[in-house]
């Protein structure tokens, strides 16, 4: 099969298609015939060597949408031909979801949404689980105020919707051109990007990784949630500083799928590229102003 890999670190030109053996599922795993796969910033980080792995063939891709093709031993409740979405966790791995087939732990998948197509669904797993975990870590009661930075981005937009659903009063920080969009998601306050956000708010979900600038908006004793491990600012004024780390969780993903299917969670696709143009997709992902998930179709 064809799979997107890197063997040398660098720019988008380092991503190549390799012909590799089709993987087989072990006990507790299943194989998915890939229909579409999301392209995330973490894929660019793997390609650039941020996570290490020099001298290895590194597979790319975390998000997948497709059909179960083969089921390993000790897997129950799944059938071949079933449409699923899943998360293939881990930056350093020989094969990812940017391939014609991928093997996942059965616990990492959920039945696919029925109200959106496979391409749109491919943008849900990593961004959705990241946003949901971050909102949970806020641990704020309904009616509390939260500032969400990067609110028009893929993760930020999902976080706005989930925070509003949790009863939080959301102020969104995004580009001025995105004000109408983030308000349509339920944000009641808006701060243009480049403006120092005013406070105090009960919590910040810092999808834009503003660090100390965002922390300064939190009231004494509030909470700051960062999305990138080891990038949060130092705690001060009794503010609880936490960092979320996403995990492959099929049960949690299934709950997000349910929200998509009842219209409570909107997914946004920016562009699609065939797997054969994966290097071009990487270059496009780094273009300023991309709104929504870039998806590879297989």
Query: For the segment 287-298, what is each residue's pLDDT rounded down to a tens digit?
Result: 877 888 999 999
Confidence label for 249 from pLDDT (cuts 50, 70 and 90) = very high
Give the per-residue pLDDT at 230. Answer: 80
pLDDT in tens, 32-73: 999 999 999 999 999 999 999 888 999 999 999 999 999 999
Dihedral, 5, 9, 12, 17 alpha carbons, nearest 10: -20
Averaged pLDDT, 77-96 = 95
pLDDT in tens, 184-229: 999 999 999 988 887 799 999 999 999 999 999 999 999 999 998 8
Whole-model pTM: value is 0.94
Averaged pLDDT, 251-262 = 97
Averaged pLDDT, 129-157 = 97
Counting beta carbons within 10 angstroms of the beta carbon of residue 38, is it exposed (0 to 12), middle (13 to 18) or buried (19 or more)? buried
Give the per-residue pLDDT at 179. Answer: 96
Confidence label for 122 from pLDDT (cuts 50, 70 and 90) = very high
The Cα 92–Cα 45 span in angstroms is 11
Give the per-residue pLDDT at 107. Answer: 97
CA gyration radius, the chain: 19
The Cα 4–Cα 291 span in angstroms is 23
Averaged pLDDT, 271-276 = 96
The Cα 65–Cα 84 span in angstroms is 6
The Cα 97–Cα 163 span in angstroms is 29
Give the per-residue pLDDT at 244. Answer: 87
Kindly report the average pLDDT of the chain as a whole number: 95
Domains of the chain (ranges; CATH) run 2-124+267-297 (3.90.180.10), 127-243 (3.40.50.720)
Residue 231: pLDDT above 90? no
The Cα 37–Cα 295 span in angstroms is 6
Averaged pLDDT, 83-101 = 96
In 3D space, the residue among 89, 127, 92 whose CA is nearest the CA of residue 109 turns out to be 89
End-to-end CA distance of the chain: 11
Give the per-residue pLDDT at 229. Answer: 80
The Cα 175–Cα 178 span in angstroms is 5
The Cα 206–Cα 233 span in angstroms is 11
């Amino acid at each position: 099969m064809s799979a997107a890999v890197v063997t040398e670190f660098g720019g988008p030109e380092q991503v190549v298609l390799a012909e590799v053996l089709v993987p087989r599922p072990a006990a507790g795993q299943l194989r998915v015939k890939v229909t579409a796969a999301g392209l995330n910033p973490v894929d660019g980080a793997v390609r650039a060597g941020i996570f290490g792995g020099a001298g290895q063939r590194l597979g790319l891709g975390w998000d997948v949408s497709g059909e179960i093709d083969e089921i390993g031993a000790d897997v129950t409740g799944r059938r071949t031909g079933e449409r699923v979405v899943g998360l293939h966790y881990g930056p350093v791995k020989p094969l990812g979801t940017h391939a014609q087939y991928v093997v996942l732990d059965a616990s990492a998948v959920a039945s696919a949404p029925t109200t959106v197509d496979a391409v749109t669904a491919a943008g849900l797993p990593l961004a959705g689980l990241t946003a949901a975990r971050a909102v949970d870590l806020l641990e704020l009661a309904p009616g509390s105020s939260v500032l969400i930075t990067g609110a028009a981005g893929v993760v930020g937009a999902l976080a706005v919707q989930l925070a509003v659903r949790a009863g939080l009063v959301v102020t969104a920080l995004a580009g001025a051109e995105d004000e109408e969009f983030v308000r349509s998601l339920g944000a009641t306050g808006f701060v243009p990007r480049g403006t120092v956000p005013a406070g105090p708010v009960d919590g910040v979900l810092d999808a834009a990784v503003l660090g100390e600038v965002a922390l300064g908006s939190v009231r004494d004793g509030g909470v700051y949630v960062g999305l990138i491990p080891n990038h949060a600012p130092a705690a001060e004024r009794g503010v609880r500083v936490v960092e979320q780390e996403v995990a492959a969780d099929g049960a949690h993903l299934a709950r997000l799928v349910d929200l998509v299917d009842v219209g409570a969670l909107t997914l946004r696709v920016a562009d699609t590229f065939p797997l054969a143009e994966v290097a071009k997709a990487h270059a496009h992902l780094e273009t300023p102003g991309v709104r929504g998930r870039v998806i590879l179709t297989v």
